[in-house]
Amino acid sequence: MGDRAGVTGMQRAELARRTGCNLETVRYYEKVGLLPEPPRTASGYRSYDSTHERRLRFVLRARELGFSLDEIRELLCLVDERDRPCAEVRDVAAVHLAVVRAKIADLKRMERVLKDVVAQCGDGTLPECPLIETLFQERNAI
């Protein structure tokens, strides 16, 4: 409970711990404009609160879903505008979904070829390795 509501005065390490984010990455996200610059204590230490935590969780979650930092920046703009961003957000996600699917297709092609050649190698006692032979063949023959 106390863990969820209105926390203030967090230092970087605590924010990182609470979100599971790497310590340095927090500062990096601030540098590239994904997190707002937090207020500072008298001695210059960053002082985070729940809004920072919420925003960082958003970024981390979007990264888990494979969004690039540019895409996340775009999403955050839409979130901030609050105008009726649902259609635009959906479009960003749909584009990203297409990219993810293309990557899956790529990897599946790789997987198929690799599985085949590994199988052809059998117990590895062949004099001419079929895998090596495959790799010396033309590209685009996949």
Is there binding between residue 18 and a second copy (CB under 8 A)? no
DSSP 9: S
Please report, as residue ranges, which positions from 123 to 142 form the binding site for a second copy (by CB under 8 A).
Answer: 123-129, 131-132, 134-139, 142
CA distance 113 to 93: 30
Is there binding between residue 58 and DNA (CB under 7 A)? no
Interface residue with a second copy, options 60, 69, 73, 74 (CB under 8 A):
60
Query: Choosing among DNA, a second copy, none, which partner's interface includes residue 14 (Cβ < 5 to 8 Å by kind)?
Result: DNA
How many residues sit close enough to DNA to count as binding (CB under 7 A)? 21
What is the phi/psi pair of residue 134, to 5°? Answer: -60, -40
CA distance 6 to 51: 8
Structure tokens at 75: 């999403």
Name the minimum Å distance from CB 59 to a second copy. 9
CA distance 7 to 80: 21
- Distance in Å from the first CA to the final CA of the chain: 55
CA distance 12 to 88: 32
Query: Choosing among DNA, a second copy, none, which partner's interface includes residue 8 (Cβ < 5 to 8 Å by kind)?
Result: none
CA distance 88 to 100: 18
Residues that bind a second copy (CB under 8 A): 19-20, 54, 57-58, 60-62, 64-66, 75, 78-79, 84-91, 93-94, 96-97, 100-101, 103-104, 107-108, 110-111, 113-115, 117-118, 121, 123-129, 131-132, 134-139, 142
Residues that bind DNA (CB under 7 A): 11-14, 22-25, 27-28, 40-46, 63, 68-70
